[in-house]
Structure 1
């Protein structure tokens, strides 16, 4: 079986909509006036009565029909309609334009990392010198 939402599993549809809205079970539970365990049980239920579905839809800010008709394929198709064809159109289609040299950035990060390591090493050497002075003083 594929990992896509089963057509009739209302709990999974609620779970996917909640995830797409970047909402945790606790937040949905609070919006519904219940607890996280109840939401978990609800999301594992294949069938949900209409009254409970209305309550969930209101808490998620969607319609009952949106929950009933939800599909992962529909979401993918929905987001694919947002492609802006006026940007980055070259002779061979979509092209990503990089405004910096990635290798230059890599070298830059390497040099910064090297400087941080040298500062850490110097700090450790200073600590050792300080501790040696303390030992000699005793």
Structure 2
């Protein structure tokens, strides 16, 4: 019960969740790190100070006042479950992977045959050039 009313703990937890260190928050508020630590240990914080803290954290003072660890865990759990359900639905395979594999094998075979023909053509051309050069040397 005291957790719900302890504003300082809420500030500390929200600061941690936002990845902000006490030193950084202290600099933004123009106070010492020890003063931030003391605020986070306070059960209540003045409205004006709470508004300054909220602004430094990039949230509203209402978020701090209404913050509940249980609701954060509940939201994370629901978001995870929704995301995993959507993932299953959104990423169903729309093609047969075996057909794709067969098509790739056929394409590789075709390209291999084409390479073989080109290689044979180059060899034939090389042989013809050698023969021509030999003929030219014999004619001298």
TM-score, length-normalised on structure 1? 0.58
CA deviation string 1:74-96 (max 9, x = no partner): 1112222322113358xxxxxxx
Alpha-carbon shift at residue 12 of structure 1 (Å)? 0.1
Large movers: runs of 4+ above 4 Å: none
Distance 1:25 1:39 in 2: 6
Equivalence map 1:34-113=2 (5 Å): 34-83=31-80, 84=83, 85-88=85-88
Structure 2, unaligned stretches of length 5 or more? Answer: 90-140
1:84-111 per-residue CA deviation (whole Å, 9 max, x = no partner) reads: 113358xxxxxxxxxxxxxxxxxxxxxx
Separation in 2 of the partners of 1:56 and 1:78?
Answer: 24
SS of the equivalent of 1:87 reads helix
The structure where helix makes up a greater share of residues is 2
* Pairs aligned (count): 86
Aligned to 1:20: 17
Give the alignment's TM-score, normalised by structure 2.
0.57
What secondary structure sits across from 2:86 in the alignment?
coil
Q: For structure 1, list consecutive stretches of 5 or more residues without a partner in the other structure.
A: 90-138
2:6 match: 9
